[in-house]
């Protein structure tokens, strides 16, 4: 009899392990046209940006509600939060020392954070950029390779170079005066900067002189260029390449500094800097590409799209594209782990997800809730959570929803979560 009861318990445990866990969040299950249930939540906010530390142990995420979360992605838990922003955190970047982080927000501020204690070191406001008498979004932020300087997008068309010690402005790079800077990046040697505006052009800047030294695609001699002080220059002769009017959402320098990627519409373009030519076009997504990033070895790239997918593309052969399925809304930000074995993505579905590059499988989801609780959960339902994080979880078998409390002994297992993450 005892053996029979034990068998029943094991069967039930296996059954509920197979059905997995789902986010509750005051969810309403609704049958869509394909008959699959979806979960609607008012307790989580869209994730707009993600960044990983150089040692691959921690990551930050910026959200719609102004929060910045510090995740311990080597153990599967929330390590802290940075408080200060009151608007959507659109951009974030971790410094090369792994101890400092930059964030920029729609509240009109950019902030430098101490990642050890979560304290704000300094912040600055772009007062020149106002919409309806309100401060508007600061553009992208990025550290230089040595961490001594950083760049921030200011008023329309302006990119500023600042000192990391005190935030003081060192130089200004003038792009189109009416267009917001959408993405910016330092070259690997720290001597140049790429900037993209909300049109089809990418500009290359020489930091030492403050001059624009290239535009991709080439522009005609009739176009004006601007020096570090915003004065017009007309010293180069270029030739027009006609392209449809499209925005560039994201750019990424190659590790060797010879090429860059530009996410334009549904496509990703690989550009040669020396030749000012498109080397290859990648049309992997069904909708607009929001974020793109080179792998550490420069042989692949990862992209996130409004089609809810993440893709890792083989640049050399373009024959081994891996698609990561799981997000249920726009994928706004993606990046590789330092060893290139994992990918981190942030989505408007409110989740940060860690993926295995070799298989395309999801490793874990990292979710923070508006009530301060959090959950880190694996695809088969094991989770780690804050004290009351379990309240946002339930178990679904078919169309029947079960409360999570009766299964805490099975699924609440931080050790298994850590083992899955640290493979």
Residue spans per domain, the chain: 2-421
For residue 282, pLDDT over 80 is answered with: yes
What pLDDT band is residue 226 in, cutting at 50, 70 and 90?
very low
Which residues face 7 on adjacent strands? none
**pLDDT value at residue 80:** 95
**pLDDT value at residue 409:** 82
Give the mean pLDDT of 370-387.
Answer: 92
The model's pLDDT over 110-145, given as tens digits with 9 standing for 90+, comes to 999 999 999 999 998 875 444 444 455 678 999 999
Separation of alpha carbons 167 and 148, rounded Å: 10
What 3-state class would DSSP assign to 269? strand
Least confident of 89-98, 193-202, 219-228, 376-385: 219-228
What pLDDT band is residue 407 in, cutting at 50, 70 and 90?
confident
Q: What is the mean pLDDT of the chain?
A: 82
Strands 277-282 and 267-272: antiparallel
Separation of alpha carbons 185 and 262, rounded Å: 11
The CATH architecture of the domain made up of 2-421 is: 7 Propeller (2.130)
What pLDDT band is residue 381 in, cutting at 50, 70 and 90?
confident
**0.85 exceeded by the pTM?**
no
Give the mean pLDDT of 254-274.
Answer: 95
What pLDDT band is residue 146 in, cutting at 50, 70 and 90?
very high
Cβ–Cβ < 8 Å for 421, 52: no
Q: How many residues does the chain have?
A: 423
The model's pLDDT over 68-118, given as tens digits with 9 standing for 90+, comes to 999 999 999 999 999 999 989 999 999 999 999 999 998 889 999 999 999
Element (H, E) at 5: helix 2-19
Element (H, E) at 247: none
**pLDDT value at residue 35:** 25
Separation of alpha carbons 51 and 355, rounded Å: 14
Separation of alpha carbons 255 and 55, rounded Å: 17
The model's pLDDT over 2-36, given as tens digits with 9 standing for 90+, comes to 444 444 333 344 434 434 444 443 333 233 333 22
Give the mean pLDDT of 159-184.
Answer: 87
The phi and psi torsions of 245 (rounded to 5 degrees) equal -75, 110
């Amino acid at each position: 009899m005892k053996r029979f009861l034990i068998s029943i318990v094991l069967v039930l445990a296996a059954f509920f392990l197979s059905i997995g866990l789902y986010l509750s969040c005051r969810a309403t299950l609704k049958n869509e046209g394909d008959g699959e249930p979806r979960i609607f939540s008012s307790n989580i906010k869209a994730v707009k940006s993600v960044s990983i530390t150089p040692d691959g142990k921690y990551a930050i995420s910026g959200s719609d509600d102004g929060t910045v979360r510090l995740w311990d992605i080597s153990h599967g838990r929330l390590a802290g939060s940075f408080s200060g922003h009151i608007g959507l955190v659109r951009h974030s970047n971790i410094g090369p020392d792994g101890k400092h982080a930059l964030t920029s927000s729609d509240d009109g501020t950019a902030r430098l954070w101490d990642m050890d204690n979560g304290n704000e070191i300094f912040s600055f406001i772009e007062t020149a950029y106002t919409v309806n008498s309100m401060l508007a979004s600061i553009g992208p932020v990025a550290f230089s390779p040595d961490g001594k300087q950083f760049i921030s997008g200011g008023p329309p068309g302006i990119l500023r170079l600042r000192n990391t010690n005190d935030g003081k402005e060192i130089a200004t790079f003038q792009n189109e005066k009416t267009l917001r800077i959408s993405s910016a990046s330092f070259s690997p040697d720290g001597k140049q900067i790429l900037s993209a505006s909300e049109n089809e052009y990418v500009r290359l800047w020489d930091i030492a002189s403050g001059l624009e030294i290239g535009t991709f695609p080439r522009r005609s001699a009739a176009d004006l260029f601007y020096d570090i002080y915003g004065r017009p220059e007309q010293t180069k002769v270029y030739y027009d390449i006609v392209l449809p009017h499209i925005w560039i959402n994201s750019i990424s320098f190659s590790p060797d500094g010879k090429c860059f990627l530009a996410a334009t519409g549904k496509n990703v373009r690989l550009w040669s800097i020396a030749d000012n030519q498109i080397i290859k076009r990648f049309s992997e997504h069904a909708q607009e590409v929001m974020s793109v990033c080179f792998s550490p070895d420069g042989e692949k790239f990862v992209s996130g799209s409004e089609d809810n997918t993440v893709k890792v593309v083989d640049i050399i052969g373009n024959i081994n594209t891996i698609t990561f399925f799981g997000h249920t809304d726009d994928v706004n930000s993606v990046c590789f782990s330092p060893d290139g074995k994992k990918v981190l993505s942030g989505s408007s579905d409110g989740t940060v997800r860690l993926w295995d590059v070799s298989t395309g499988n999801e490793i874990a989801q990292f979710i923070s809730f508006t009530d301060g609780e959090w959950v880190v959960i694996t695809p088969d339902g094991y989770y780690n959570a804050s004290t009351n994080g379990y309240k946002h979880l339930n178990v679904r078998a078919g169309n029947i929803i079960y409360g999570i409390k009766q299964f805490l002994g099975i699924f609440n297992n931080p050790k298994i979560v850590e083992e899955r993450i640290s493979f």
